[in-house]
Amino acid sequence: MVLGRALRRTPGHRGITEQRGNTSRPLVNVKRAEGVFTEKQKHDIAVRLTSVMVVDWLDTTLAPRHPVRVLDVAQERRERSNEDMTIQAGPGDPVASVTEGATIRGEFYKAEQLVEAIHLSLGGYHPGFRAVHALGRFYMGTFTATAAGRAYSRAAHFQGAPVPVTARFSHGSADPDKPPNKVSAMATRFYLPDGTDTDLIGISLPAFPARTPDEVLEILDAVRPDAATKVPDLAKVQAALSAHPATARIVQLVQEQLAPVSFARVQYRPLHAFRFVDADDVGRWARYHWEPEAGVAGQSEADLAQQPHSALFDEFERRLQEDPVTFTLDLQLAQDGDPLDDVTALWPDDRQRVTVGRLSLTRPISLEEIGDPVMMHDPTKVTDGIEASLNDQIIAARRGAYLASVAQRTGGWQRQSPVLADTQAVAQADG
């Protein structure tokens, strides 16, 4: 049985402890986190924390148009008792994964506030572009599962027959007029034989910098540019990092990363834990990892910033003219104590990995060819044989924030259907 590790504050200790049974040990010490940055690093963090917080928050478009299985924590709360909700059980691998003291929230918890905070703190609103990962291009190819993939999950795309895919590669920058930064992302859609599809969103971050929507709002407030200076207040940034040592640790790891030299040479991590269920209803928890078959390589962020904004896309497309670009999809298998609901937590590197498939991308593809003018990649859009953690507050909040942002930046159904909008106006006038 894999048990969720409880991360909590211990009275008298200015940090976060790891609770196992009746014992605990310091996991991150706040005082140590306060002292890991030089003055230059503090300045860089304040100016460039945008790169850390963007992740895939608003890889937004319209809501999914196919009938697919999505995570609905609110519905689960109505249908299950509180005790049942802390456990996703099935033969072989029941898991208690709630971080001690956590309150489970629905997917629309503070969704509008999150969207507004992202616009205020991460570069403003740019009509026609996503709020983050503003610059991106789509590519097509196939995904073929291995025998191990079929053994771990009954999901349709894990059965061994090639399935069509699209992948959107993007810069991490929220402003399309700014140069790319260290963060890049790959959002993949698998097109299943029954006419539905499922999404997998990977990013080059080692982990997500906040565990709950409320923590996200606190950090976004800290990095919001001052109205007068147009840059964040360094004191507020440092205070936020001191209050959230997990965030400070992830910021430090990102500072140490290289910028991409090619989208084809980046490791992409979908960050969340998923439960993979086989044909016999036996489940196993794991995290995804995309591994580039060309190998991992990078460059300094300064070198990348000197190149044209399209440099990474141009390089990727030159590769495609020679050969397909390929990635393997690995599952990192959870063991006792690995948290399943905390996206700020890193699992140990020695966890077993199993290769469950291979992605081969062959050429660019347009939205017109895809047939969906506003592709929305939704991390909760899973399919039978794969389950998201009901207690992961960030994966739920991502869906809610995406949908709220879509309505905001597209004008919602009122703009898409003038007939219905007129009907609403008449009804309000008559009322």
pLDDT tens by residue, 93-120: 544 344 555 555 667 777 778 877 877 7
Q: Where are the beta strands (DSSP E) in 258-370?
A: 259-260, 273-277, 283-292, 298-299, 325-333, 353-364
Of the two residues 216 and 262, the one the predictor is more confident about is 262
Q: Over the chain, what is the mean pLDDT?
A: 78
Is pLDDT above 90 for 34? no
pLDDT higher at 243 or 175: 243
Output the pLDDT for position 174: 75
The more confident residue out of 346 and 414 is 346
Average pLDDT over residues 11-17: 33
Neighbour-count burial for 43-71, b at 16+ CB within 10 Å, e otherwise: ebbbebbbbbbbbbbbbbbbebeeebbbb
Residues with Cβ within 8 Å of 205's Cβ and at least 6 positions away in sequence, in order, are: 52, 55, 183, 250, 254, 269, 271
Could you write out the three-class secondary structure of 61-97? CCCCCCCCEECCHHHHHHHCCHHHHCEECCCCCCEEC
Query: Is it the case that residue 299 has pLDDT exceeding 70?
Result: yes
Residue 304 has pLDDT above 90, yes or no: yes
Q: Residue 415 has which token pair? A: 């703009």
Average pLDDT over residues 178-183: 89
Tokens 């291979």: give the residue: 358
The pLDDT confidence band at residue 289, using thresholds 50, 70 and 90, is very high
Residue 12's pLDDT is: 34
Q: Which residue has the higher pLDDT, 48 or 9?
A: 48
What's the pLDDT score for residue 131? Answer: 65
Output the pLDDT for position 383: 98
User: What pLDDT, on the 0 to 100 scale, is given for residue 133?
Assistant: 79
| Residue whose pair of structure tokens reads 């697919």 in the numeric block | 68
pLDDT digits (tens, 9 = 90+) for 150-161: 999 999 999 999
pLDDT of residue 318: 98
Q: Where are the domains of the chain?
A: 28-403
Class for the domain spanning 28-403: mainly beta
pLDDT at 380 over 70: yes
Query: Is 392's pLDDT higher than 80?
Result: yes
Q: Tell me what pLDDT residue 71 has.
A: 41
Q: Which of 119, 133, 157, 289 is flagged as catalytic? A: 133
The 10s digit of each residue's pLDDT in 344-359 is 999 999 999 999 999 9
Q: Is the pLDDT of residue 48 over 50?
A: no
Q: What is the mean pLDDT of residues 324-347?
A: 96
Asked if pLDDT for residue 65 goes beyond 90, the answer is no
What's this model's pTM, rounded to 2 decimal places?
Answer: 0.76
The yes-or-no answer on residue 119 being catalytic is no
Calpha distance 375→367 (Å, rounded): 8
